Amino acid sequence: MKSLKILIAPFVVPALLMLAACAPAPAPTAAPVAQPTAAPAAAEPTAAPKPEKLTVLCTPQEDWCQAMTKAFEEQTGIKTSYVRLSSGESLAKLRATKDNPEFSVWWGGPADGFVAAAAEDLLEPYVSPNAADIPAAQKDPNGIWTGVYVGALGFCSNKDVLAQLGVEKPNSWDDLLDPKLKGQVAIAHPASSGTAYTAVWTQVTRLGGIDQAFEYLKQLHQNVLQYTKSGSAPGQMAGRGEVAVAVIFSHDCVKFADEGMTALEVSFPEEGTGYEIGGVALIKNAPEPEAAKMWIDWVLTAQAQEIGPTVKSYQLPTNPNAKVSERSVKLSEVKLVDYNFDEAGKNRKAITQRFEDEITVAPQ
């Protein structure tokens, strides 16, 4: 009893004293009951006032996010900022801020992420007039998401390290299981990274079931050094020679090679590889819906889709009128698996949780 008193006395008694003194005590912490600044321009439908700012949730590489937001700002005068988060993080963030979103539009990252977000009612359908240009296979018919780029998964190898290990450039998913590659493979964590989730779902498609995919992943785990948070990070590890092979999107590998990591080379699995359609979507209850729609309209134009290569992001544009960089992957030369974005998105949560529980902590 005494100790209890000691513990609570300094917190309770002063308050009582304040009351006893009956000072019109302005409680310091409670003071500025700031009214949630009632979203001024956004909520008003009248006469469409010009939007002033836009916050983009951006999933691709940081420099591409920067180049895009800068270009958009220059063209529209809307002050545009972004936060770069990996796919899984973006999803978690949208879930966390569901009632009061911080972002208005989500740009980039595999479409499965968008499907998963839509399943949780985090997105607002919007069919952009410019979406008519985009092939039907690269957009959601209801306008939940629209494709902005396409990329194929590949192996990003460091040829020096491979040569030293006496291993050939991998040409098959099973090549990654070579015991000589123990601790020499890097891939991201599918809970946080859309790249890694694409890789996991590729196994599901290729092997015909989730259980079979986990059987493969369990074997692959023997060779994995680290599951990174961001999808492209394994490519940097390979570039620095920390690992021999990284499983990443091939365009990121080309980017790193162009940026000076000359030992890197891309190869594709002959059984077929997964691919992504990077999406764009309007966020539900977006604070800046008008600006967000302008952003969506804009990123679907050929002109906006040609910005990527200027910052060495060689994803394929979805707008057929956009110029294709010669550094981009030629999809006709790569065997792709039959990737079902809807199924992938709907199973995302279950699979990432299972991955966390069964794979990451398995002994090596």
Site for another protein in 327-346 (CB under 8 A): none
Q: Which is nearer to another protein, 228 or 325 (CB)?
A: 228
Q: What are phi and psi of 323, to 5 degrees?
A: -65, 135
Check binding of 166 to another protein (CB under 8 A): no
Q: Which is nearer to another protein, 102 or 133 (CB)?
A: 102
| Selected binder of another protein within 230, 273, 313, 328 (CB under 8 A) | 230
- Shortest distance, position 140 Cβ to another protein, whole Å: 24
Site for another protein in 267-306 (CB under 8 A): 287
- Shortest distance, position 258 Cβ to another protein, whole Å: 11
Please choose, from the candidates 82, 59, 88, 83, the residue with its C-alpha nearest in 3D space to the C-alpha of residue 69. 82
- What does the per-residue mask of binding to another protein show for 176-215, with x meaning CB under 8 A? -------x-----x-xx-----------------------
- What does the per-residue mask of binding to another protein show for 235-274, with x meaning CB under 8 A? xxx-xxxxx---------------xxxxx-----------
Check binding of 62 to another protein (CB under 8 A): yes
Site for another protein in 21-50 (CB under 8 A): 21-25, 27-30, 32-34, 36
Q: Which is nearer to another protein, 19 or 331 (CB)?
A: 19
d(CA 355, CA 224): 14
Q: Exposed (0-12), middle (13-18) or buried (19+): which is 210, by Cβ within 10 Å?
A: middle
Other C-beta atoms lying within 10 Å of the C-beta of residue 272: 18
Give CA separation, 88 vs 85, 191, 214, 222, 352, in Å.
8, 6, 19, 24, 9
d(CA 339, CA 110): 11
Tokens of 223: 């060779």
